[in-house]
Amino acid sequence: MREIPSRPSRAIHFFDPSNAKMAAKVPAMAGTVDVLLGNLEDAIKADNKEAAREGLVTIGRETDFGTSQLWTRVNALDSPWVLDDLTRLVTEIGDKLDVVMVPKVQGAEDIHYVDRLLAQLEAKAGVQRPILVHAILETARGMANVEEICGVSPRMQGISLGPADLAADRRMKTTRVGGGHPGYLVRSDAAKTDDGYDVHGEQTPRSTYQQDLWHYTIARMVDACAMHGIFPYYGPYGDITDVVGCEDQFRNAFLLGCVGTWTLHPKQIEIAKRVFSPAPEDVEHAKRVVEAMGDGTGAVMLDGKMEDDASLKQCLVMVRLAEQLAEGDPELAAAYGMKG
């Protein structure tokens, strides 16, 4: 493969194939969410690992996924389950499986191993196209090696941030699954008083602004992915009830360059689809810039602002994403004024 296929993947929706109630919902979700991911790793009880694997084989065989992709997250490479996960899934449903997500990737050697194993299993099972690989960025060593990981195999489809494991591995002092922390903030200066400085803000309140714990990590991941032509994603937002905080975290990732996110609960799917589809007003503006820029060179004024080759390129990113999403979604096509 010379180029990783770019398909909509705004929401990578996690389900537990060993949970009968959840698994029963999957066929009806096919075609409504960009990616359905059968999770075999964390969040699946050790006693249910085999049931989850077999549940995914059954779902893979029996479900018509329509426009949705089927992904899996296999167990970690140092676990007793991963060899059977890969062997069973590729030989039984390899033709349906688009992407294998590999957790806790440390370096190029992990991807080499999965790459070789997939090639052997694909050949054995007669799978006609390569199954792609997606790494989770959730160890400090993986973070240090992120550029190398992104470029190590032509199967590399993308990378997701794994904020929970990464926080633990880095020994961050948080206890959450993704999202921010109220203690990670900056504070305005203390006012000077006759007695010195009003450090507690008793007379002159000092404003605080919560900072983004994940800014550095996401930005570095985005650069590493862009450099190698693969796709970056935010990961889990564990506070299912905080739909507002979830939307903000997703939007930060979208603005920084991510193409999608994980969804852990059905209520996060709508948020992900909305946030990772460009806003119609931004698409409208981008189309006007493209129109105004003519052959794409020089500088023009539009609404009092200078536009040139560089802003045109940003606008083309927006328009092309909108066109891609409009192709499979009549409602978005209408909102963008594009052909569905």
Ligand X SMILES: CC(=O)SCCNC(=O)CCNC(=O)[C@H](O)C(C)(C)COP(=O)(O)OP(=O)(O)OC[C@H]1O[C@@H](n2cnc3c(N)ncnc32)[C@H](O)[C@@H]1OP(=O)(O)O
**Interface residue list for Mg ion (CB under 5 A):** 138, 162, 165
> Is 38 an interacting residue with respect to ligand LL5AMS7Z (CB under 6 A)?
no
Q: Smaller CB distance to Mg ion: residue 142 or 162?
A: 162
Q: Smaller CB distance to ligand X: residue 119 or 168?
A: 168
The count of chain residues that interact with ligand X, using the rule CB under 6 A, is 16
State in angstroms the smallest separation of the CB of 16 from ligand X: 6
State in angstroms the smallest separation of the CB of 209 from ligand LL5AMS7Z: 25
Instruction: State the CB neighbour count (10 A cutoff) for residue 123.
Output: 10
DSSP codes joined into one string, 166-231: HHHHHT-S--SSSS--TTSEEEPPPPEETTEE-TT-SSSPPPEEE--TTHHHHHHHHHHHHHHT-E
Binding mask 26-65 for ligand X (x = CB under 6 A): -------------x--xx----------------------
For ligand LL5AMS7Z, the binding residue among 235, 283, 318, 322 (CB under 6 A) is 235
Say whether 124 sits in a helix, a strand or coil: helix
Binding mask 114-153 for ligand X (x = CB under 6 A): ----------------------------------------
The count of chain residues that interact with ligand LL5AMS7Z, using the rule CB under 6 A, is 10
Contact positions with ligand LL5AMS7Z (CB under 6 A) in 149-168:
162-165
Location of structure tokens 């903000």: 248
Residue 10 near residue 260 (C-beta atoms within 8 A): yes
Q: Smaller CB distance to ligand LL5AMS7Z: residue 259 or 312?
A: 259
Q: Smaller CB distance to ligand X: residue 42 or 148?
A: 42
Closest CA relative to residue 305, chosen from 322, 323, 288: 288
Q: Smaller CB distance to ligand LL5AMS7Z: residue 46 or 306?
A: 46
State in angstroms the smallest separation of the CB of 125 from ligand X: 27
Contact positions with ligand X (CB under 6 A) in 257-286:
264-266
Say whether 21 sits in a helix, a strand or coil: helix
Say whether 286 sits in a helix, a strand or coil: helix
In this structure, the strands spanning 185-187 and 192-193 are: unpaired
Contact positions with ligand X (CB under 6 A) in 187-246:
236, 240
- Part of the chain binding ligand X (CB under 6 A), chosen from 11-19, 118-126, 212-220, 222-230: 11-19
Q: Buried b vs exposed e over 150-166: b needs ≥16 C-beta within 10 Å?
A: bbbbebbbbbbbbbbbb
Ranges assigned E (strand) in the chain: 11-15, 35-39, 69-73, 99-102, 132-137, 156-161, 185-187, 192-193, 196-197, 208-210, 231-233, 261-263, 300-302, 305-307
For ligand X, the binding residue among 105, 131, 150, 177 (CB under 6 A) is 177
Q: Measure the CA–CA gap between 24 and 315, rounded to whole angstroms.
A: 41
Closest CA relative to residue 163, chosen from 247, 262, 257: 262
Instruction: State the CB neighbour count (10 A cutoff) for residue 95.
Output: 14
- Part of the chain binding ligand X (CB under 6 A), chosen from 21-29, 53-61, 127-135, 225-233: 21-29
Contact positions with ligand LL5AMS7Z (CB under 6 A) in 120-139:
136, 138
State in angstroms the smallest separation of the CB of 12 from ligand X: 10
State in angstroms the smallest separation of the CB of 159 from ligand X: 15
Q: Buried b vs exposed e over 297-335: b needs ≥16 C-beta within 10 Å?
A: eeeeeeeeeebeeebbeebeebbebbeebbeebeebbeb
Q: Measure the CA–CA gap between 306 and 298, rounded to whole angstroms.
A: 10
* Interacting residue ranges for ligand X, rule: CB under 6 A: 14-16, 21-22, 25, 39, 42-43, 164, 177, 236, 240, 264-266
* Interacting residue ranges for ligand LL5AMS7Z, rule: CB under 6 A: 42, 136, 138, 162-165, 177, 235-236
